Structure 1
Amino acid sequence: MKGCRSTGVLALVLMLSACRRGQEEAPAPPPASTESPSTDSAPAKRVMPPDMNAALASVAPLVASVQPAVVKVEVRDAAPTRRSRPDSPWGEEGPGGTFGGALPFGSPFEDPRDEGPRQGLGSGFVVDARGLVLTNNHVVQGGTSIQVHFSDGRQQDAKVVGTDPLTDVAVLQLQGKVEELPVVKLGDSDALRVGDWVVAIGNPFGLDSSVSLGIVSAKARDIQAGPFDDFLQTDAAINPGNSGGPLFNLQGEVVGINTAIAGQGSGIGFAVPSTLVKQLLPQLEKEGTVTRGWLGVAVQDVTPDLGTALGVPVRDGALVTDVSQGTPAAEAGLRPDDLIVEAGGRPIASGRALTRTVALKAPGSTLPLTVYREGKKTEVNVTLGTRPDLEGVAARRPVEEPEAPAHQRVGLTLSDMDPRLARAQELPRAGALVTDVVPGSSAERAGLVPGMVVVEASGRPVRRASDLAQALREAEPGESMLLRVAMPGGDRVLRALKAPES
């Protein structure tokens, strides 16, 4: 029999063999048994694994389609002293002390001993054509200047519009003119199975647009990083700099935000599941923070022995150990030793599952609970309150400072020309003298250095520092201004400086 040809186009799917090339042979019969067949027991059920002869087709088409929407996030912190990042659930040195050496990677501040301005790189991805970019909170936390780099060479400033340190998610808004942005879609992480293929794209160690392939190693991992841990675990290679980058399924949908790695393990990484991110995104974009529902109970997991002792027919759930006075739980009549097995019609397998479920509900909403009390099943309706700031995140948010002058926001320190300096350096006697440039700033990226003299901005003469400052103030946000600059020795060059964003 001739080998049959496969039909259809190779796409981004796992392909199982539809036919085998060459002559197909019938399987050999099993060897004859020397023992008489037993009539007392049924034959053993034979395990039949799927046919995995065909390998994964190339992921190159998938990468080509989604890679343009993956960005490098460049963050600058101008603080001159060491910063402990107190509003991060990871702590000062990351969460290594809490879950066996796992670390948030791509943190923008790699060397806490550095006494000068610091700069770091992370990853992100565009999820809305209006210019919304998702990344990790720990990538942008404390940064005073953020710039997003696309794989096609485009660069745009960005500002933080929302952060949730408890899940390590941040939303950025691109500044200036936003058009023709590549966008990727948030998928359904709940639909993932352990063993499904995933692709990570990011900027590990500054290596832009690096791609790695792996599988989902586990789901719903609690790594003790925060109260709402529900991480995907993957063996796709992710490293410092991947932080905030996307984890894709084979349909090109983002199923996770790469967030942490196990410091003592190889090939163990963690991602915030996309289903959680989708629930947080509207609040983060609109309010800048997340407001969560609250019961007001202390709970623990149920063990088989506890289930037997409580006289309940289940072995999963959240066991109430304490009910605080004046809380929604107390008002609804919940008691210690109540076993909560369902919330809002969804099974509750553990105490942390209850915490996550309640936190995703809006304060003021009614949440029906299925409870076992003294061995009997009952229903309790709770009107949720607003979760207190138990971690003190809100209290430690940085206070907004008055906006700096336009020239300072692009990283320039200016002064008027001094006649003696002009004679000594063969510089013009009038203009805006650049006396300092902040590393990593727009001015540095424009090629401005101390000692240069700006004599013209956007076709208008510059005779003193205030002229250039005024030109920057009057420019459109993000506008590329053409500067004519005099160099020591008399040469003149052109530079393009981006005006500060509004």
Structure 2
Amino acid sequence: MQIHTPKIHKKAVLGTISLLTFLLILTQISGGMPLNKYKFHLENLTKSLTERKTFPKETKIHQLVEEESAIIEVVESASSSVVSIVVKQVSYDFFSGPSLTEAGIGTGFIVDSSGIIVTNSHVVSDSSGEYSVVLKDGTTYEVEKIHLDRVSDLAIVEVTARNLPILELADSDKLKVGQKAIAIGNALGKFQNTVTAGIVSGIGREITASSGYGSQASFYEEVIQTDAALNPGNSGGPLLDLSGQVIGINVATTPSADNISFAIPSNTLKPLLETFLAKGRIIR
């Protein structure tokens, strides 16, 4: 990208310098200010006329480029720690009979390199389901254990893996309305690592949400509101700040309105995760 700046006309500069030179000689002859002082003022004037200026329009362009670069850096760094969660389902065809298929149902993110993954409890709540997680590079791990906390709608799942890349948790109490927010998730259960960006639209919201018609509604307190687009399949994925830390766990969107989605604050997860890592189970 080229940045265009106004050109300084050489004739104008030369005309100014010529005039000052004439006045300089005239004053020197008449016993005025010493020549070396006029030379100093002349050099400063020439420098101020010829040096490059920064204008508001250019500043805005720089800010946009910096903001885009920051988002790209976060996505490149965090994506390998975000997983798609799939479940095996038995489908029946009249001609071929029953068959086993896999369907994407949600998102999770790695919080410990030994294979500890966080998601929403409603994503992995089917006790009869056979779940697995898929990394960005396509590597698949079977879920070994599931630990649910239905009160917070959070879950910790375990897979047998080592040296996995992790995401760090931010202090969600320090969130400010208006700051940037980036969501990564398995949108619609089939578009892996979809990225959307927006801002923190509100904090401390209270909402009631359900996963569909006939399902039990859940009440959420102190959740984060964002205008980063979320879709079915994003549940359990991370909401990130510009430093790449998790500020929230995406949980719900509003199908009847545009750009209104919600995430559970990272500080809600922290005590659950700390006790789990210490005790091997979720303790309230």
Q: Give the TM-score category using the shorter length.
A: 0.5 to 0.7
Is 1:246 the counterpart of 2:231? The answer is no
SS in 2 for 1:199: strand
2:156 aligns to what?
A: 171
1:349 aligns to what?
A: none
The answer on whether the counterparts of 1:161 and 1:284 sit within 8 Å (CA) in structure 2 is no
The answer on whether the counterparts of 1:163 and 1:288 sit within 8 Å (CA) in structure 2 is no
1:20 aligns to what?
A: 55
The answer on whether the counterparts of 1:261 and 1:268 sit within 8 Å (CA) in structure 2 is yes
Question: Which aligned pairs between 1:404-483 and structure 2 lie closer than 5 A?
Answer: none
Question: Which aligned pairs between 1:200-219 and structure 2 lie closer than 5 A?
Answer: 200-205=183-188, 206-219=190-203
Distance 1:21 1:239, change over 3 A: closer
One of 150, 166, 180 as aligned partner of 1:183? 166
1:145 aligns to what?
A: 130
Q: Distance in 2 between matches of 1:203 and 1:213?
A: 15
Q: Which amino acid letter does the alignment assign opposite residue 20 of structure 1?
A: F
Is 1:154 the counterpart of 2:119? The answer is no
Q: Which amino acid letter does the alignment assign opposite residue 130 of structure 2?
A: S
The answer on whether the counterparts of 1:217 and 1:234 sit within 8 Å (CA) in structure 2 is yes
Q: Distance in 2 between matches of 1:77 and 1:254?
A: 31
SS in 1 for 2:123: helix
Q: CA deviation at 1:3?
A: 3.2
Q: Distance in 2 between matches of 1:239 and 1:162?
A: 24
The answer on whether the counterparts of 1:160 and 1:170 sit within 8 Å (CA) in structure 2 is no
1:75 aligns to what?
A: 87
Q: CA deviation at 1:263?
A: 2.6
Q: Which amino acid letter does the alignment assign opposite residue 150 of structure 2?
A: P
Once the two structures are superposed, what CA deviation does each residue of 1:152-197 show, in whole Å capped at 9, x if it has no partner?
A: 121111133421111110001112xx23311111111111100000
Question: Which aligned pairs between 1:87-98 and structure 2 lie closer than 5 A?
Answer: none
Q: CA deviation at 1:75?
A: 2.0
Q: Which amino acid letter does the alignment assign opposite residue 271 of structure 2?
A: Q
Identity across matched positions, percent? 35
Aligned length, in residue pairs: 213
The answer on whether the counterparts of 1:243 and 1:258 sit within 8 Å (CA) in structure 2 is yes
If each structure's helix is expressed as a fraction of its own residues, which one has the higher value?
2
Distance 1:290 1:224, change over 3 A: farther
Q: Distance in 2 between matches of 1:161 and 1:242?
A: 19
Q: CA deviation at 1:79?
A: 11
SS in 1 for 2:138: coil
Q: Distance in 2 between matches of 1:213 and 1:172?
A: 27
1:278 aligns to what?
A: 270
Q: Which amino acid letter does the alignment assign opposite residue 167 of structure 2?
A: V
If each structure's strand is expressed as a fraction of its own residues, which one has the higher value?
2
Is 1:265 the counterpart of 2:257? The answer is yes
Distance 1:228 1:236, change over 3 A: closer
1:61 aligns to what?
A: 73
Mark the runs of 5 or more structure 1 residues left unpaired by the alignment.
5-18, 23-50, 81-115, 292-502
Distance 1:270 1:21, change over 3 A: closer
Q: Distance in 2 between matches of 1:283 and 1:260?
A: 26
CA RMSD of aligned residues (A): 2.7
TM-score when scaled to structure 2? 0.68
Q: Distance in 2 between matches of 1:261 and 1:3?
A: 48
One of 191, 196, 199 as aligned partner of 2:182? 199
Q: Distance in 2 between matches of 1:172 and 1:190?
A: 26
Once the two structures are superposed, what CA deviation does each residue of 1:131-160 show, in whole Å capped at 9, x if it has no partner?
A: 100001011011521111011121111133
SS in 2 for 1:277: helix
Distance 1:52 1:167, change over 3 A: farther
Once the two structures are superposed, what CA deviation does each residue of 1:341-381 show, in whole Å capped at 9, x if it has no partner?
A: xxxxxxxxxxxxxxxxxxxxxxxxxxxxxxxxxxxxxxxxx
The answer on whether the counterparts of 1:198 and 1:249 sit within 8 Å (CA) in structure 2 is yes
TM-score when scaled to structure 1? 0.39
